[in-house]
Amino acid sequence: METFELGDFRLTSGATLPAARLAYQTFGELNAAKDNVIVFPTFLGAPPEVLNGWIGENRPLDPSRYFIVLPGHFGLAPSSAPSNTPAPFAGPAFPEVSVADDVIAQRTLLAERFDVHEVRLVLGWSIGAIQVYEWALRFGDAVRRIAPIAGAPTPPPWTKLWLRTVVEEPITADPHWNGGAYQDAAAVSGGLARVAHGSALTAPPRGFYYGHAEVWRTLGFDSVDGFVQGFWEGFWLPQDPNDVVVQARKARTSWPGADGETLREVLGRITAKATVAALTGDALFPPEECRQYAGWIPGAQFREIDSVYGHLATFGLSEQDVKAIDDVIRLALEG
């Protein structure tokens, strides 16, 4: 993991984030023309290395062909976050950040660290897909292709509610939260555990738990409780509560357009070649909504991926899901 120092970074809110930094990883080599760049932002609570399994020779994200950049985002350590920013901006005093701030920082990284001004493809899922749309709309002159997968330009109403009631409120309602001024993140572990339990209930499709299927067993667990503890608590309990709240609020309030624009008008301004994909059973970003987004982007193509894992398919939990998502990425790169 490397870190790019942004200095005193002016946020879109008007505030300044002092000594801002953006964590990132790279794979492959930048070619002489500097036109083989792929940007692959990550999602809520997941540092860039979580995406490493999608990169490999003879796969679409082939480091022997492309220079692949996996950037972090604000609120997610080791990028600037409440948990690693010194006073007076530590913890609950961390300034308001936006998805636009993330993308501006990522573009600055490419330009200043690598002298890159054109991106062959920006792809990502979930909150990573929100960043993909922001890239296409904010820096359309620099982006040739996009592949938002299991995501949206702004969270649909159900997903905004999910971010607030499943992710944010269990933390802020914890008796040890103290307005974010807790002394030890472990003190708020009860709130994080409730985030894990709510995620287990709402992120997979209902069929994931059906008695005749018990899809959770394919992940090596012998009980639903074991799955909830091993998978979901394992993901959420190590997180810093303030960091999670900042990321959830940032995603929930994201909007890539101008005031007064409709989403159809916003997406109609995208000039990059777009491949939009969705997952069956994904309650966070349902296929019917993603299909509509594709219909509003000039020349976009849409693919629906059939998976018993729903939104969890982006974790690459089955060979079938990995192949299907690889096929979408290959389509996005090669047309």
CA dihedral in degrees (262, 263, 265, 271; nearest 10)?
Answer: 160
Residues with Cβ < 8 Å from 317, sequence gap 6 or more? Answer: 218, 219, 309
Give the model's confidence band at 174: pLDDT under 50 very low, under 70 low, under 90 confident, else very high. very high
| Active-site residue, from 126, 189, 199, 254 | 126
Q: What pLDDT score was predicted for residue 184?
A: 94
Secondary structure of residue 69 in the 3-state scheme: strand
Neighbours of 294 (CB within 10 A): 19
Q: Which pLDDT value is given to residue 213?
A: 83
Handedness of CA 110, 66, 70, 139 (dihedral sign): positive
pLDDT per residue as tens digits for the range 89-137: 999 999 999 999 999 999 999 999 999 999 999 999 999 999 999 999 9
Over range 194-219, report the average pLDDT.
93
Say if CB 5 and CB 105 are below 8 A apart. no
**pLDDT tens digits, 63-85:** 999 999 999 999 999 999 999 99
The answer on pLDDT for 211 being more than 90 is no
Cα angle 20, 22, 25 (rounded to 5 degrees) comes to 160
The token pair that represents 42 in the structure block: 């990550």
- Taking only the tens place, the pLDDT of each residue in 19-56 is 999 999 999 999 999 999 999 999 999 999 999 999 99
The model's pTM is 0.96
3-state secondary structure of 172: helix
Residue of 243, 282, 307, 321 marked active site: 282
Binning pLDDT at 50, 70 and 90, where does residue 335 land?
Answer: confident
Structure tokens at 285: 């970003």
> Are the CB atoms for 143 and 135 separated by under 8 Å?
yes
Q: Are 41 and 131 in contact (CB under 8 A)?
A: yes
Give the model confidence (pLDDT) of 217-268 as tens digits.
Answer: 999 999 999 999 999 999 999 999 999 999 999 999 999 999 999 999 999 9
pLDDT at position 145 is 98
311 is catalytic: yes
Q: Is 174 a catalytic residue?
A: no
Cα–Cα distance for residue pair 231/241, rounded to 1 Å: 18
* Sheet with 67-71: strands ordered across: 2-10, 16-27, 67-71, 37-39, 121-125, 145-149, 273-279, 301-305
* Pairing label, strands 67-71, 16-27: antiparallel
**Angstrom distance (rounded) from CA 320 to CA 223:** 23
- Answer for the pair 125, 305: CB distance below 8 angstroms, yes or no: no
* Residue 168 contacts residue 199 (beta carbons within 8 Å): no
Reported as a pLDDT band with limits 50, 70 and 90, residue 160 is very high
Q: 316 burial class (0-12, 13-18, 19+ CB within 10 angstroms)?
A: middle
Number of neighbours of residue 32 by Cβ within 10 angstroms:
7
CA distance 254 to 257: 9
% of the chain exceeding 70 in pLDDT: 100
Q: How confident is the prediction for the chain on average, in pLDDT?
A: 97
pLDDT of residue 212: 82
* From 98, 189, 243, 311, the catalytic residue: 311
- Tell me the residue type at 237: L
